[in-house]
């Protein structure tokens, strides 16, 4: 009689971490692709928001999406990173138009969002409300404060940032695919006994340890 029992499931593959220069490059490429994909998703969400009538928009959502998109995009070009993207990655893209000019503009916009303005009037305008002329005594009625929007971009700018991030993500992903072959070759040269002694690699990241804040003393 033939065995009708289903085949026993295969044990999960063991995955351990690699601390190699080639693996560092691959990890950086993977994080850049992730950041750029996030930019694309933010731009899609922002276009949906901009398509709504202004009175139906939640004013927080467009600002949050635009700020997050610019921050993630700029992080890919951070000067403090060992790897990351650079000007050559922009000029090598198969895109037409003033691509580098738009890239620099996006970086400047991110700086404006994360830096307190040197001139306070760049972020808010303070005015004085006057009694209507010709309607009795002229006098100062009060003070008016008008804050400026941080989403100083239209749907064209959002589409351009999304398209630029998408092209960079594709280009970086292709390079990461080639880098995987290099990492595999390097890993195959390592001692197997040492690899199998390493703890399994977990995708979960431990939460950072938060500093302990001093307790507020009770006032008499």
pLDDT per residue as tens digits for the range 48-84: 998 888 888 887 888 899 999 999 999 999 866 567 8
Distance of CA 121 to the CA centre of its chain: 28
- Please report whether residue 16 resides in a domain: no
Structure tokens at 209: 């340890």
Q: Is the pLDDT of residue 199 over 70?
A: yes
Residues 44, 49, 51: CA angle, nearest 5 degrees: 95
Chain mean pLDDT for the chain? 84
Q: Please tell me the pTM assigned to this model.
A: 0.77
- Please report whether residue 119 resides in a domain: no
- Please report whether residue 77 resides in a domain: yes
Structure tokens at 199: 């703890």
- Please report whether residue 141 resides in a domain: no
- Taking residues 106-127, report their average pLDDT: 81
- Please report whether residue 99 resides in a domain: yes
In total, how many domains does the chain have?
A: 1
For residue 176, the tally of other CB atoms under 10 A from its CB is: 18
Report how far residue 29's alpha carbon sits from residue 33's, in angstroms, rounded to the nearest whole number: 6
Q: What is the pLDDT of residue 78?
A: 82
> What is the maximum alpha-carbon separation in the chain?
108
Q: What is the pLDDT of residue 56?
A: 86
- Provide the domain limits for residue 87: 21-114+151-197
- Please report whether residue 132 resides in a domain: no
Dihedral sign (CA 137, 139, 142, 144): positive
pLDDT band at 105 (very low <50, low <70, confident <90, very high): very high
Using DSSP, state whether 95 is helix, strand or coil: coil
pLDDT band at 220 (very low <50, low <70, confident <90, very high): very low
Alpha helix (H) residue ranges in the chain: 21-50, 60-75, 87-91, 99-114, 155-187, 192-197
- Please report whether residue 88 resides in a domain: yes
pLDDT per residue as tens digits for the range 14-35: 888 888 999 999 999 999 999 9
Residue 127 forms beta bridges with which residues?
Answer: 144
With tokens 């404060």, the residue in question is 145
- Please report whether residue 14 resides in a domain: no
DSSP codes of every residue in 106-161: HHHHHHHHHS--SSGGGTEEEEEEEPPTTSSS--EEEEEEEEPPS----HHHHHHH
Q: What is the pLDDT of residue 131?
A: 86
Q: What is the pLDDT of residue 219?
A: 46
């Amino acid at each position: 009689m033939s065995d009708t029992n289903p085949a026993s499931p295969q044990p999960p593959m063991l995955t351990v971490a690699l601390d190699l220069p080639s693996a560092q490059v691959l990890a950086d490429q993977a994080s850049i692709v992730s950041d750029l994909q996030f930019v694309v998703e933010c731009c899609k969400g922002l276009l949906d928001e901009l398509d709504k009538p202004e009175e139906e928009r939640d004013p927080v959502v467009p600002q949050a999406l635009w700020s997050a998109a610019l921050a993630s995009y700029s992080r890919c070009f951070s000067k403090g990173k060992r790897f990351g993207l650079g000007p050559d990655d922009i000029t090598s893209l198969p895109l037409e138009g003033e691509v580098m000019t738009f890239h620099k503009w996006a970086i400047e916009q991110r700086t404006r969002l994360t830096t307190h303005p040197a001139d306070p009037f760049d972020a808010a305008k303070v005015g004085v409300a006057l009694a209507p002329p010709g309607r009795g005594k002229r006098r100062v009625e009060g003070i008016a404060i008008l804050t400026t929007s941080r989403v100083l971009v239209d749907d064209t700018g959002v589409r351009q940032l999304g398209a630029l991030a998408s092209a960079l993500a594709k280009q970086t992903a292709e390079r990461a695919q080639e880098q995987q072959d290099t990492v595999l070759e390097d890993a195959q040269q390592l001692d197997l006994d040492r690899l199998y002694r390493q703890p399994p690699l977990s995708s979960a990241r431990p939460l950072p340890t938060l500093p302990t804040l001093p307790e507020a003393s009770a006032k008499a």
